[in-house]
Amino acid sequence: MIKNFQELIRMAKEQKRMRLAVAAAQDEEVLVAVCNAAEIGIVEPILIGDGEKIMCIAKENNLKIDDYEIIEEKEVDAAAKRAVSLVSLGNADFVMKGLLDTSILLKAVLDKEIGLRTDSQLSHVMIYHVPTYHKLLFLTDGGMNIAPTLEEKVKITQNAVDVAKAMGIKDIKVAALAAKEKVNPKMQATVDANELKQLGQRGEFGGDVIVEGPLAFDLAISEEAAKTKNFESQVAGDADILLVPTIEMGNGIGKALTYFANAKSAGVIMGTKAPVVLVSRADSHESKLYSIALGSIIAAN
């Protein structure tokens, strides 16, 4: 089981190198992270985009890319389609966003002919290494689904469970978050969380997955809070996955962990045939490297 990002990197290095298709690779921070990942033996990069700009960035940053495959596609739409099609055809193992809008890449991912769509729900899974928490913390979905239905939450939960399993985590504990731990018909988040708990008990997510809900955030991550409130649960104070009811809650928790708790992070889009590494320009170079390592581990499973 991976307990921190150093172990994540080590696990990625120990497996076969995965082929990473980078869409619109003419992004300095992304290119530096991709080259770093290649140098330590995690990926074999395929750089799709404006070749002249890619070479210029490489020269300015002393990046050795002579041995990397570079595919000329100056238009970002074409670069996105080419990167996704490489994965779809089996010529690359996963894809990463470069210097283009997320919507452009996702349009290619969802393309009926060359895309990576499945019958699952696309969702963003973030992993945080929080200095004050005793293990890695998974958060979903604070990046894609605005207000998912119960059916969508089931698929979002499964996507996060798949990531946790790829990382070797067993007895996975999922906290379905809400503002309170009691079911209130006027608060749909509590109703859905309780239903997810029932589904978990019936084995919907596998015998080694425990779902608890509804749970307030403090109960999910603080054993002390659970004791104070006399709340007994195998998940309370020991959650692996935080399932949020809305994008606002997920985005808020994620940003708070990053900026208030100095958490390190990695993230991927799941629900596709292969993981999609979707990074923000605000993400650190370190975070981008961790996300590449995470994507490579999932792609190998």
Cβ contacts of 58 within 8 Å, gap of 6 or more: 31, 35, 64, 65
Q: What is the mean pLDDT of residues 158-172?
A: 96
pLDDT at 284 over 90: no
Given this model, what pLDDT does residue 61 score? 94
| pTM for this entry | 0.95
Domains of the chain: 5-117+272-299 (3.40.50.10950), 123-259 (3.40.718.10)
pLDDT at 281 over 80: no
Q: What is the full DSSP assignment across 165-234?
A: HHTT--SEEEEEE-SSSS--TT-HHHHHHHHHHHHHHTTTT-TTEEEEEEE-HHHHH-HHHHHHTT---S
Half-sphere exposure (CA, 13 Å, Cβ side) for 275?
Answer: 28
CA distance 301 to 294: 11
Cβ contacts of 149 within 8 Å, gap of 6 or more: none
Across the chain, what does the average pLDDT equal? 95
